[in-house]
Amino acid sequence: MMLLEHDAKELLAADGVPVPAGVLATAADVELPASLAGPWMVKAQVPVGGRGKAGGIKRADTIAELGQTLGVLLGKTIKGQAVRACRIEQCVEGMECYLSVSLDASRGRLRVLLSSQGGVDVEAQAGRVLSAEVALAQRETIDAASRLADTIASPARATMVRAAERLIAMFFEFEATLLEVNPLFIRPNGSWVAGDLKLVIDDNALVRQPRLRDLIQRRADAYPDIALKMNHGFDFVVVDPDGEIGLVTTGAGLSMQMLDELAERGHPAFNFCDIRTGQLRGDPTRLIHVFRWIAAGRRVRSVLINFFAGITHLGEVAHLLVAALKAVPELRVPVTARLIGNGYDEAIAVFAAASNPLRVEPDLDRAIELALAPLTGARP
pLDDT in tens, 132-152: 999 999 999 999 999 999 888
pLDDT class of 312 with cuts at 50, 70, 90 = confident
Q: How far apart are CA 146 and CA 238, in angstroms?
A: 43
pLDDT class of 125 with cuts at 50, 70, 90 = low
Q: Are 255 and 274 in contact (CB under 8 A)?
A: yes
Mean pLDDT of the chain: 92
Q: How far apart are CA 360 and CA 347, in angstroms?
A: 9
- Percent helix, strand, coil in the chain (nearest 5)? 40, 25, 35
Residue 49 has pLDDT above 70, yes or no: yes
Residue 113 has pLDDT above 90, yes or no: yes
Name the DSSP letter for residue 301: -
Q: State what percent of residues in the chain have pLDDT above 90.
A: 80
Q: How far apart are CA 252 and CA 272, in angstroms?
A: 9
Residue 155 has pLDDT above 90, yes or no: no
Average pLDDT over every residue of 147-165: 89
Tell me the H-state helices in the chain.
Answer: 5-13, 63-73, 138-150, 157-173, 210-218, 224-232, 252-264, 285-295, 314-327, 344-353, 364-376
pLDDT at 24: 97
pLDDT at 252: 87
Residue 210 has pLDDT above 70, yes or no: yes
pLDDT at 247: 97
**pTM of the entire predicted model:** 0.83
∠ CA 285-291-292, nearest 5°, is: 90
Q: Give the burial string for 194-207 (b: 16+ CB within 10 Å, else e).
A: bbbbbbbbbeeebe
pLDDT class of 57 with cuts at 50, 70, 90 = very high
Residue 379 has pLDDT above 60, yes or no: no
Q: State what percent of residues in the chain have pLDDT above 70.
A: 96
Residue 122 has pLDDT above 70, yes or no: no
Q: How far apart are CA 100 and CA 147, in angstroms?
A: 15
Burial environment of residue 368 by CB neighbours within 10 A (0 to 12, 13 to 18, 19 or more): buried
Task: Provide the β-strand partners of residue 292.
Answer: none
Q: Within 10 Å of residue 22's Cβ, how many Cβ atoms?
A: 22
pLDDT class of 196 with cuts at 50, 70, 90 = very high
* CA nearest neighbour of 49 among 111, 3, 17, 18: 3
Name the DSSP letter for residue 219: T
Residue 184 has pLDDT above 90, yes or no: yes
Task: Provide the β-strand partners of residue 81.
Answer: 78
Residue 124 has pLDDT above 70, yes or no: no
- φ and ψ at residue 113, rounded to 5 degrees: -120, 135
∠ CA 29-31-37, nearest 5°, is: 120
Residue 32 has pLDDT above 80, yes or no: yes
Q: Are 91 and 107 in contact (CB under 8 A)?
A: no
Average pLDDT over every residue of 322-349: 94
Residue 120 has pLDDT above 60, yes or no: yes
Residue 380 has pLDDT above 60, yes or no: no
∠ CA 231-338-375, nearest 5°, is: 90
Q: How far apart are CA 4 and CA 23, in angstroms?
A: 13
Q: What is the pLDDT of residues 244-292, one digit of tens each?
A: 999 999 988 889 999 999 999 999 999 999 998 888 888 999 999 999 9
Omega of the bond leading into 334 within 30 degrees of 0 (cis): no
Q: How far apart are CA 359 and CA 380, in angstroms?
A: 10
- φ and ψ at residue 16, rounded to 5 degrees: 95, 5
Q: Within 10 Å of residue 177's Cβ, how many Cβ atoms?
A: 20
